[in-house]
Amino acid sequence: MGGSAAASVRGVSSDIASPDEPFDLIARASQIWRERIGPSESMEAVTNVMRVQQILQAAVDESLRPHGLTFARYEALVMLSFSSRDSLPMRIMGERLQLHPTSITNIVDRLEADGLAQRLPHPTDRRTTLVALTPSGRARLTAATSSVLLTDFGFVGLDNGELQLLSVLMTKLRKAAGDF
């Protein structure tokens, strides 16, 4: 059977997983793909990336939930805190977060309703609306950041070197895809 050595390394040596090893559905799908279609590295990688995204999203959401934040709202607060005056034009926020104007409007609406951010007129450009971090927003951001740091943003089982390697590889992929 093609690829059985690689599959057994991942705990899949036959159609039925060994009772003492967990069944890895992605490894099994990769094995079947190799046998029936051909090389499976890209399929296995994308399936792993998609699954890891779900795992990380769930971990981050779990950390942020007690603070009444979603990752999108948390990310917006972080971005505001990184700006030199704790405020940014709404259009710039949308561009930097790579969000459609409707999405950034909805995020800012929720932050404003919760008292975490406020809309302000731009001091020199009447066409521009600034979004500013409020003191309550700063406090909520600090507490939420402590929570996500406690769980290392959901990254379990990887050391700092592995996290750096993962970032290098993902950045390389993003660059090749024209993300920046």
Mean pLDDT of 163-168: 98
Q: List 131's β-bridge partners, or say none.
A: 88, 119
Q: Domain limits of the chain? A: 68-149
Q: What is the pLDDT of residues 132-163, one digit of tens each?
A: 999 999 999 999 999 999 999 999 999 999 99
Query: What pTM did the predictor assign?
Result: 0.80
Residue 12 has pLDDT above 50, yes or no: no
CATH topology of domain 68-149: Arc Repressor Mutant, subunit A (1.10.10)
| pLDDT value of residue 1 | 42
* HEC profile of the chain: CCCHHHHHHCCCCCCCCCCCCCCCHHHHHHHHHHHHCCCCHHHHHHHHHHHHHHHHHHHHHHHHHHHCCCHHHHHHHHHHHHCCCCEEEHHHHHHHCCCCHHHHHHHHHHHHHCCCEEEEECCCCCCCEEEEECHHHHHHHHHHHHHHHHCHHHCCCCCHHHHHHHHHHHHHHHHHCCCC
